[in-house]
């Protein structure tokens, strides 16, 4: 289990470092720029991440994901340390912060699909459910621990210290992930042979570059083709996209607006987010003790259905305690759905293409979130703070209902335990 432990600790440290970095970047931008420039800095990082995700998944499938993960995390640690030095000596400006955001976004695009795909190379297939539960717990701890840690560092020592803290956490991630032992990638004929360029038309170096680009493009297209023609993978991503489209805006931008509209204040908004976090962490921890989730396809659909219904309940609750109860249910069902659906994706994806599927997962989540944020603001301004939660819940329920009509999704199961000798992923 050394590899799994190293992956969980490394992934959790990386999530925690990301959260510290995000708040440190925001605070540093506020100190050296205007509010509009803060938005520019925060948006800058998402552009290279979205552009590189699919290529990052292709690289992780073709090469060792461990090397990509360690290289990306090491790169992020160096960027954090350099930014901390620049802030400490007072030479940082908005342009420098944009460069930092762009660099980290590009490294994220390489890191995210590789680290998400790593479990199939370090653990037997029948443990994917538990590994997914570990990921849920590590993610929740990182997300909800990063804010307080970054706030304390900024308050005590300034944003430069928060960048140093993020660098140290990325370094811990590198050390933990270095302990992972990766099994060989399954062989797959994927059409890597590039069409030869007629001799003499291009210099040899350019011919090699073009051939490599064709191979990367071919492998990336192959991953898209796999998801498009695999009804299970396609519909799992559709459900995940519908969930995040309905959820991301209301629970990120909508909670403060709802708390302000009801007079609950910032304290109330914090309690709502805290109730959600407790629920999500609790369900993830509970699933750690479940050897295998039976009827996983039905379970993940029930989880996302309750998530949509409870999200609507948060918006319509008349009192803060009632809204907190619904937020707790959102967290519990979110942790259940997220854990099971991640395990199903790892199980259903071809082992030679897992990283490309994980890249599409990250692209699905990141792609719909900004639209959900904009829709939440527009709906709140036009109809009131309750409506984003109602419509978001309706979108989630509609996506669930559409997916439930697919027998392939309802019948999905996580892998059964098998003898180690018959499961190549169980090899040390």
Q: Choose between 44 and 327: higher pLDDT.
A: 327
* Residue 191 pLDDT > 90: no
pLDDT band at 173 (very low <50, low <70, confident <90, very high): very high
In the prediction, which pLDDT does 321 show?
94
* Residue 193 pLDDT > 50: no
* Residue 187 pLDDT > 50: yes
In the prediction, which pLDDT does 285 show?
87
* Residue 167 pLDDT > 90: yes
In the prediction, which pLDDT does 216 show?
55
Give per-residue pLDDT as tens, 396-422.
999 999 999 999 888 888 866 555 444
351: number of Cβ within 10 Å: 17
Mean pLDDT of 51-72: 84
Helix (H) or strand (E) holding 77: helix 65-88
Mean pLDDT of 248-275: 83
pLDDT band at 204 (very low <50, low <70, confident <90, very high): low
Q: Choose between 253 and 119: higher pLDDT.
A: 119
In the prediction, which pLDDT does 221 show?
60
pTM, 2 dp: 0.73
* Residue 51 pLDDT > 60: yes
What CA–CA distance (Å, rounded) separates 186 from 55? 19
pLDDT band at 28 (very low <50, low <70, confident <90, very high): confident
CA–CA distance from 299 to each of 336, 379, 400, 410 (Å)? 8, 31, 12, 9
pLDDT band at 212 (very low <50, low <70, confident <90, very high): low
Mean pLDDT of 210-231: 61
What CATH homologous superfamily does 222-416 map to? MFS general substrate transporter like domains (1.20.1250.20)
Which candidate, 338, 173, 156, places its Cα nearest to that of 239? 338
Lowest mean pLDDT among 77-86, 353-362, 377-386: 353-362
- Percent of the chain, pLDDT > 90? 30
Evaluate the CA torsion angle 256, 258, 262, 268 in order and state its sign: negative
CATH number of this structure's domain 2-130+138-177: 1.20.1250.20
Q: Choose between 65 and 11: higher pLDDT.
A: 11
In the prediction, which pLDDT does 401 show?
94
* Residue 11 pLDDT > 70: yes
Helix (H) or strand (E) holding 139: helix 128-157
With 0-12 / 13-18 / 19 or more C-beta atoms within 10 angstroms meaning exposed / middle / buried, residue 175 is middle
In the prediction, which pLDDT does 84 show?
93
In the prediction, which pLDDT does 194 show?
44
Mean pLDDT of 42-63: 81
The domains of the chain are located at: 2-130+138-177, 222-416
* Residue 20 pLDDT > 90: no
* Residue 91 pLDDT > 60: yes
In the prediction, which pLDDT does 213 show?
54
pLDDT band at 48 (very low <50, low <70, confident <90, very high): confident
Query: For 184-295, where are the alpha helices, taking DSSP H only?
Result: 204-229, 231-249, 255-262, 265-288
* Residue 325 pLDDT > 50: yes
pLDDT band at 19 (very low <50, low <70, confident <90, very high): confident
In the prediction, which pLDDT does 416 show?
61
What integer best gives the mean pLDDT of the chain?
Answer: 82
Q: Choose between 192 and 116: higher pLDDT.
A: 116
Residues 6+ apart with CB under 8 A from 365: 240, 241, 244
pLDDT band at 179 (very low <50, low <70, confident <90, very high): confident
Mean pLDDT of 194-212: 52
Q: Choose between 208 and 137: higher pLDDT.
A: 137
What CA–CA distance (Å, rounded) separates 232 from 345? 9
pLDDT band at 80 (very low <50, low <70, confident <90, very high): very high
Lowest mean pLDDT among 68-77, 89-98, 418-427: 418-427
**Angular region, 188: left φ>0, alpha ψ -120 to 50, beta rest:** beta
In the prediction, which pLDDT does 420 show?
46
In the prediction, which pLDDT does 425 show?
41
In the prediction, which pLDDT does 354 show?
81
């Amino acid at each position: 289990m050394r590899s799994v432990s190293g992956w969980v600790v490394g992934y959790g440290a990386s999530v925690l470092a990301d959260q510290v970095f995000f708040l440190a970047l925001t605070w540093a931008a506020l100190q050296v720029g205007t509010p509009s420039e803060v938005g520019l800095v925060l948006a800058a990082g998402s552009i290279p991440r979205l552009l590189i995700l699919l290529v990052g998944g292709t690289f992780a499938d073709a090469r060792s994901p461990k090397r990509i993960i360690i290289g990306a995390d090491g790169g992020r640690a160096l960027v954090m340390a350099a930014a901390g030095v620049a802030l400490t000596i007072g030479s940082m400006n908005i342009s420098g912060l944009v460069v930092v955001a762009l660099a980290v976004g590009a490294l994220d695009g390489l890191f995210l699909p590789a680290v998400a795909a790593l479990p199939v190379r370090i653990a037997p297939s029948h443990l994917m459910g538990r590994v997914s539960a570990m990921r849920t717990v590590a993610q929740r701890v990182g997300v909800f621990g990063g804010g307080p840690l970054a706030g304390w560092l900024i308050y005590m020592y300034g944003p430069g210290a928060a960048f140093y803290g993020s660098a140290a956490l990325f370094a811990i991630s590198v050390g933990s992930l270095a302990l992972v032992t990766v099994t060989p990638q399954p062989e797959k004929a994927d059409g890597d042979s590039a069409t030869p360029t007629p001799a003499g038309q291009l210099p040899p170096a350019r011919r090699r570059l073009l051939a490599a680009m064709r191979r990367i493009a071919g492998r990336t297209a192959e991953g898209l083709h796999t998801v498009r023609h695999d009804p299970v993978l396609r519909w799992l991503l559709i459900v995940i996209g519908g969930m995040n489209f309905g959820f991301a805006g209301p629970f990120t931008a909508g909670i403060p607006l709802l708390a302000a509209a009801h007079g609950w204040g910032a304290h109330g908004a914090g309690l709502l987010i805290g109730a959600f976090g407790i629920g999500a962490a609790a369900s993830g921890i509970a699933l750690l003790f479940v050897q295998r989730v039976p009827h996983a396809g039905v379970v993940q659909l029930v989880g996302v259905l309750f998530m949509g219904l409870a999200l609507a309940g948060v918006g319509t609750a008349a009192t803060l305690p009632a809204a907190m109860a619904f937020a707790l249910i959102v967290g519990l069902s979110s942790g259940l759905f997220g854990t099971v659906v991640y395990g199903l994706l790892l199980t259903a994806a071809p082992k030679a293409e897992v990283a490309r599927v994980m890249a599409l997962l990250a692209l699905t989540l990141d792609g719909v979130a900004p639209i959900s944020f904009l829709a939440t603001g527009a709906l709140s301004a036009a109809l009131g703070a309750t409506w984003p939660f109602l419509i978001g819940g309706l979108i989630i329920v509609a996506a669930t209902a559409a997916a439930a009509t697919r027998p392939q999704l309802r019948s999905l199961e996580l892998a059964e335990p098998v003898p180690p000798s018959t499961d190549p992923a169980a090899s040390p």
